[in-house]
Amino acid sequence: MSVLVGKKAPVFQADAVINGGDFVENFSLEQYIGKKYVLFFFYPLDFTFVCPTEIIAFQDKLAEFEKRNCEVVGCSIDSKFSHWAWLNTELNKGGIKGVKFPLVSDLSKTISVNYDVLAGEYDYTQEGEMSFVGGPVAYRGLFLIDKTGTVRHQLVNDLPLGRSVDEAIRTLDALQHFEEFGEVCPANWSKGKEAMQATQEGVSSYLAKH
């Protein structure tokens, strides 16, 4: 598994569905550089089980990301037409109607490969024929990208394990606190709690209080 933290987020241009139903060609995260943070996450497939719980949870907290100047963007290996159909299916029928943030189509699987979250890989048989080993879908990868386009946090869960949206917000808060105040954020830190200076004295002082 590649570690992308500290590196520029892989660039791409792909089809996407935005605003709950509008098709966009050549969608790219580069449009946010210098303007916004990005929470870019992968999920395995449309019309499945854990995936809609995560996507709806992100939508429910979308205002929290927006007030932190962060764009939420989802991605799977489904086509834009599958995204559109899912976005226009009612919740009580297995859909995600009401979700407004962009869903990117990684039909070629190249975005998943570049972010190293594809749950399998291409190989060749002894006869020289191409095959795929594993599952041709994305793991539940999550990448927090700062305004310079650099990955500052990544998390990759196996397919059965849903993610915590609150933890994603907490991590974004920690990054923004560090950028604003120069203080590092200790274990279990959350917004409003005491942070500390990245010095031995700062650590000693913090531990003495806790």
- pLDDT value at position 210? 81
- The predicted pLDDT at position 1 comes to 65
Q: 163-168 long-range contacts, Cβ below 8 Å, gap at least 24?
A: 163/41, 163/54, 165/54, 165/57, 165/58, 165/60, 165/61, 166/61, 168/39, 168/142, 168/144
Domain, as residue range, for 122: 14-161
Q: How far apart are CA 72 and CA 41, in angstroms?
A: 8
- 51 catalytic residue (yes or no): yes
32 and 124 in a common domain: yes
Number of folded domains in the chain? 2
In this structure, the answer to whether residues 136 and 175 fall within a common structural domain is no
- 114 and 146 assigned to the same domain: yes
Q: Which of 51, 70, 75, 185 is catalytic?
A: 51
Question: pLDDT means per 10 residues in the chain (210 residues)?
Answer: 94 98 98 98 97 97 98 98 98 96 97 96 88 92 98 97 98 98 95 92 80
The per-residue pLDDT for 207 is 81
Q: What is the pLDDT of residue 209?
A: 83
Pair 135, 172 in one domain: no
Residues 25, 117: one domain? yes
- The answer on 102 and 135 residing in a single domain is yes
